[in-house]
Amino acid sequence: MSRYIIRRLLLLAVTMLVTSLIIFGLTQVIPGDVAQLILGREAGEQALADFRAEFGLDDPLPVQYVNWLGGFVTGDWGRSFTSGNPAVRPLVMERLGNSMRLATMTLIISVPVSILLGVLAALWEDSWLDNLISVLSLSVVGLPEFVTGLLLINGIALGIKSLGLPATSSVPDGTLEDWIRQLILPSLTATFVLLGYIARLTRAGVLDELKKPYVRTATLKGLPYRAVIFKHVLRNALLPTITVIALSVGWLIGGLVVIENVYNYPGLGALMVDAVKQKNLLMLQAIVMVTIFFFALANLVADLLYAVLNPRIRLE
């Protein structure tokens, strides 16, 4: 196991290195002069030259890449191109913390509910319950995120004011009550996106496992049906589901652009939109690097969970 983890961590490092090359290369093919884009067409030559010198934009591209990557690894992510030139790292880390709060709340809601619905649909295959779960899950997945968000805002936050839920979400304080109050609506919006995928995949996995001989053998030996499902079937059926959940973590960290803008929530996705609007390349590079890192890390955790759920899988 330890050798496997070391190999995967080395692979993670290589992945981040390749990602950094791609990100840096893409930012260099943006048409026009970065200094001109930031300062505007009215900026004089001296102002443009000072800007390039300040941010190292007049260095050769290999030097710029090495300086940027070395700074990123050591925690110096550069300074923002915006007014006042604040440091990039504190801004990104603050928004990352906000996005992790929202992602945690979403996973707490979406994963148990989706898995439960998938198991129920599989156990009552082709029944009215199975059909109902299928129709509802596919319906909510088909709705665009901004439509779901606006429906929840108008139907719950503004329609049922006695609940005291805000139409726009802010960062919750340390209390559970405020966590629920601030994050429940954006979390439900993200949950509707994940619900159909996780539920349908769980249903397919459970149905496939129920047809295998070991289920019949365990039942004939007198093992309670509930124990067969939860101790044996789910351990194997949830392996593909774990992959989807792992991929969803990266999306929840850096991909909730629409949801964060609908609820005016200060997360990493909203910061990414601001960086694009402001042509803030260093900020954009840092956000993408952090998002890719969480994608890769979540996949590593998923692989380790495979061995926990199914001991027959030998990671070595």
Task: Name the residue ranges covered by the structural domains of the chain.
Answer: 2-78, 89-309
Confidence of residue 189 (pLDDT cuts 50, 70, 90): very high
Say whether pLDDT at 106 is over 90: yes
Please report the sign of the dihedral spanned by the C-alpha atoms of residue 145, residue 267, residue 89, residue 9: negative
Longest C-alpha distance within the chain, in Å?
85
Is the pLDDT at 104 greater than 80? The verdict is yes
18-44 average pLDDT score = 76
**pLDDT at res. 103:** 92
Which CATH number, 3.40.710.10, 3.40.50.150, 1.10.10.10, 1.10.3720.10, labels domain 89-309?
1.10.3720.10
The pLDDT > 70 percentage for the chain reads 94
Computed over every residue of the chain, the mean pLDDT equals: 84
Bigger pLDDT: 144 vs 82? 144
Q: Please state, in angstroms and rounded to a whole number, the distance separating the CA atoms of residues 137 and 199.
A: 8
Residue 87's SS3 state is strand
Tokens of 150: 């606006």
Dump pLDDT digits (tens) for 209-238: 888 888 888 888 878 888 888 888 888 888
pLDDT at residue 215, rounded to an integer: 83
Contact 272, 257 (CB under 8 A): yes
Round to the nearest angstrom and report the end-to-end CA distance of the chain.
6
State yes or no: pLDDT of 315 exceeds 70.
no
| Spatial CA neighbour of 262 closest among 185, 177, 173 | 185
Query: Helices 128-142 and 176-210 meet at what angle, rounded to 10?
Result: 130
The alpha-helical segments, DSSP class H, found in the chain are 2-28, 34-39, 45-54, 61-73, 88-123, 128-142, 145-152, 176-210, 213-220, 225-227, 234-237, 239-254, 257-262, 268-277, 281-309
